[in-house]
Structure 1
Amino acid sequence: MASAEMVCVTKPRVDAVEILVEKGITSIPEKFIRPREERFTSPTPSEYGEEQVPVIDLQGLNCCEGSVEREKVLKQLAYACEEWGFFQIKQAYAALPGLITQGYGSKYIAREGATRDWRDFVYLFLQPHSRRDYAYWPSDPSDFREVVYNFSEETLKLTKSLLGAFSLNLGLPQNYLETFIVQPYQNMLINYYPRCPEPELTAGFYAHSDIGMVTLLLQETGSKALQIRKNDKWIPVLAAPGALLVNIADQIEIISNGRYKSIEHRVVADKDKPRVSIPVFCDAAPDAIIKPAPELLGRRIVNEATKVEEEMKENAKYTSIVFKNHEIAFYKDGANSKKYVQSYMLQA
């Protein structure tokens, strides 16, 4: 997700989900009920087997170029990006105690009559600093701004490191992706999913792929409310202790010409316990032109079998877009699986 036309408040609205739960409702209002064909339930273990999102230690990225440790991490990242589109990372600054706090907000979809998700939230603009409006930042707890400021700076460093690794794995210069998007724009959501009396009728968040470049998600250890779509199956993501969950977003899919895919994910509502999650989104600059990297469409490579340099040509699979147009479409119509990205695909 990104910025677009959203207004956040730091005080609960009358129709906030948390307020409804505090009233002791036993059935959910009609505006939260999804059409029958859009409802979903949690899969049983037999449905998804033992598959789980890869966990990667990024420490090797700090090693010198060409080192065994660095190459090992790059290969792990390449596998995770190509096969999953999601991975969890372990690093000292991944766990920041005291960050979780309640968040309140309103529906994010502009379209009148759209089905509501079963959640409340606070949404913050973090990077560049000129976008910040502290009038929307909670003042309780008192160190909220300091913690979020530090978290923003560290996650921005991490994101740039990941973009560098993705660039190298795609055969591009290390700073390619960061330069391609003009300037990283960073936003944060603090999601609160209250208990739901009828979870089978609604969703915490409907199926979608994130619209930007990369998302870093801080969530409660052991939570399985988040599910990702892999091989046409919905797999619950078990939140590892002290880890950030990373997922590839739409713009990476387009720039990589489909080599890396943005992955659909959703959040199920829970009848027994609430959930808090904090995603940080790295997006392209609003006016950035997003298209398949020209360097990936025509370049020379060495054939490993013959050791002869050959020219590799590949047709663009996506049309060019302006990022802010993609962003506005999402906030106008809401989560819609991957139909936005699919609409940019060119006929073969």
Structure 2
Amino acid sequence: MEVAANQPIRVQSVAQAGLSQVPHQFVQRPDQRPNCSPASPSSYSVPVIDLFGFDPNYRDSVRDAVGRASSDWGAFHVTGHGIPAELLRRIKTLGLTFFNDTPISDKLKYACDPSYAASEGYGSRMLERDDTVLDWRDYFDHHTLPLSRRDPSRWPHFPADYRQVVAEYSDRMAVLARDLMGLVSESLGLPTRCIEDAIGEFYQNITISYYPPCPQPELTLGLQAHSDIGAITLLVQDEVGGLEVLKDGQWSTVQPLADDAVIVLLADQTEIITNGRYRSAVHRAITNASRARLSAATFHDPSKTTKISPSSELISESSPQRYREVLYGDYVSSWYKGPEGKRNIDALLIDY
């Protein structure tokens, strides 16, 4: 099956065609395939941190755990965060309803603008380069914060509570993101609002990703290896799993936990603000031959006019500034031209 280069590829439609081989646009380079790069999957487990509802009596121990996980992984699970498990389940159910129970003609009413990589709606391709290997993934991207960007008429109206649930989920996740950034700041001895003040008003997107069964999972990736470009990402995945985080040169599977678990991924701007003390998490999604997978990622980014630089409180003679200041809009433009791992952030390193 050949897909015209100028036509949007809906991966779910490709999967439903019953092919025994994936189209060449989805075949990863040999060194990027799931079983070839880098080393074989590790036995490490992403840390799980109980936030105890942000009870002040537990704050010291929780802050220490967040600091260790941020330094060692740049990723961790959180429980006890106060977001109802039913809301976390509901956002996944909405996604499955859209992808599995909605006719393609109705889905296409919410299609992304194919000429604009970061447009809102139903899509399959994120990057601008024509030679980019495609991810085995469809998605729906919602622009949710600030409120001036939030236009529920751009979101599906089925099921009947779709728009209401996404709006509530957005607000709850924004609160959790701020609380977590406070813990990350404190774990470095910084004021609670240090990272939040550096980021400014959240630009939040919620992306529900659908990874159909793939006839050749050994050749494909649901999402290629990268670190997120913003400040902090909060993700929930279904019971199928497939998220992997890179640690010490090996891929570690992030096992699905109970319905109330949220995965935290530190992103590039947090790495810059912490002067590299905490690393953004390089991660990817793998596919499988028999089961579809769904996840919902909530991204929290600065505005494109915000300048990001390391916190002055983390710079000293013994700990010099590691990253140059960057205008976030410039960083975004560079990323959408085709990231490879942490290439973009590494380009900001200062060479002493």
Q: TM-score, normalised by structure 1?
A: 0.86
Residue 346 (1) aligns with residue 350 (2)? yes
The farther-off stretch of 246-255 and 322-331 is 322-331
The equivalent residue for 1:93 is 83
The equivalent residue for 1:229 is 246
Paired residues of 2:11 and 2:124 also in contact (CA < 8 A): no
- Aligned pair partner of 1:171 in 173, 176, 189: 189
- Show structure 2 runs of 5+ residues with no match: 1-6, 100-121
Counterpart code for 1:240: L
The farther-off stretch of 165-174 and 101-110 is 101-110
The equivalent residue for 2:13 is 19
- Matching of residues 36-185 of structure 1 within 5 Å: 36-41=30-35, 47-49=41-43, 51-59=44-52, 61-63=54-56, 67=57, 69-91=58-80, 92-93=82-83, 95=85, 96=87, 97-100=89-92, 101=95, 102-103=98-99, 104-185=122-203
- Show structure 1 runs of 5+ residues with no match: 1-12, 299-311
The equivalent residue for 1:219 is 237
Q: Does the residue aligned with 1:346 lie in a helix, a strand or coil?
A: coil
Paired residues of 1:183 and 1:284 also in contact (CA < 8 A): yes
Aligned-residue offset at 1:269: 1.4
Residue 314 (1) aligns with residue 314 (2)? no
Paired residues of 2:8 and 2:125 also in contact (CA < 8 A): no
The farther-off stretch of 133-142 and 270-279 is 133-142
Paired residues of 1:42 and 1:268 also in contact (CA < 8 A): no
Q: Does the residue aligned with 2:19 lie in a helix, a strand or coil?
A: coil
Aligned-residue offset at 1:94: 5.4
The farther-off stretch of 74-83 and 31-40 is 31-40
Distance in 1 (CA, whole Å) between partners of 2:146 and 2:215 is 40
**RMSD value over aligned CA atoms?**
1.9
The equivalent residue for 2:337 is 332
Residue 323 (1) aligns with residue 313 (2)? no
Residue 30 (1) aligns with residue 24 (2)? yes
Counterpart code for 1:59: F
Aligned sequence identity (%): 34
The equivalent residue for 2:301 is 283
Counterpart code for 1:62: D
Q: Say if 1:210 and 1:290 are closer, same or farther in 2 by CA, change over 3 A.
A: same
Provide Cα deviations, 1:179-233, integer angstroms capped at 9, x if missing partner.
1112121111110000001111111011000111111001113x33111111111
Distance in 1 (CA, whole Å) between partners of 2:337 and 2:156 is 26
Q: Does the residue aligned with 1:107 lie in a helix, a strand or coil?
A: coil
Question: How many residue pairs end up in the alignment?
Answer: 315
Paired residues of 2:74 and 2:279 also in contact (CA < 8 A): yes
Distance in 2 (CA, whole Å) between partners of 1:82 and 1:52 is 15
The farther-off stretch of 94-103 and 250-259 is 94-103
Aligned-residue offset at 1:60: 5.6
